[in-house]
Chains A and B, each alone.
Chain A
Amino acid sequence: EAGVAQSPRYKIIEKRQSVAFWCNPISGHATLYWYQQILGQGPKLLIQFQNNGVVDDSQLPKDRFSAERLKGVDSTLKIQPAKLEDSAVYLCASSLSPGTSSYEQYFGPGTRLTVT
């Protein structure tokens, strides 16, 4: 079974530029998550989708971050404009169930973003 795919793996941009990350979840997984992981910290949930609807985006900085999941499969996360504090690894995860916490989340390898 193919895992969660993310691209790009690495991205370096200057502050105030925009950037987009792509995620392809495991086939058949209804729930998709985007996390931000700052160096030395645990992942912080940015947004959770169930199929193509948003379940939780309470911690998403909506003035600069946006995400979509068209057709309930692939997802993109965008930052515009980027700030220095956005430097982090952005992890995408998916799970089989519609958001039930007992189901395992499968994580992609992440995109390491550096904002200079």
Chain B
Amino acid sequence: KNQVEQSPQSLIILEGKNCTLQCNYTVSPFSNLRWYKQDTGRGPVSLTIMTFSENTKSNGRYTATLDADTKQSSLHITASQLSDSASYICVVSGGTFGRGTSLIVHP
């Protein structure tokens, strides 16, 4: 069964700190992995997408990594801002969604 597991379920950090979110997957076939950011009351918005041959992709303060051998991905947020407070969802091969990690950034 295709599955995407994300951890932690929730995370609270102080503004300016870094954090890393994890995504482990068992999805076949694998074509790509995408990270979405979902603000409260809004639809998800794509942050990054990586294919099998890519092991890192950046979008401003967001850096995603992919290890296709271990089937793990991480999303690193640098110098967090209050606006980073959101749910971050990992999606594999366009169709298997994780439950998301809820990030709260406190001033």
- Residues on A facing B (Cβ under 8 Å): 4, 40-45, 91, 93, 100-110
Contact = CB atoms under 8 A, between A and B. Distances in A.
Nearest to B29: A101
B93 interface: yes
With most chain B CB atoms within 10 A of its CB, the pick from A41, A42, A91 is: A42
Contact of B46 (A44, A91, A104): A104
A45 B84 CA distance: 26
A41 B9 CA distance: 10
B97 A102 contact: no
A105 B99 CA distance: 17
A93 B42 CA distance: 12
Given A93-B43, A101-B95, 18 more contacts: A41-B100, A42-B91, A42-B99, A42-B100, A43-B97, A44-B97, A91-B43, A101-B32, A102-B31, A102-B49, A104-B34, A104-B46, A104-B49, A107-B45, A108-B43, A109-B41, A109-B42, A110-B42
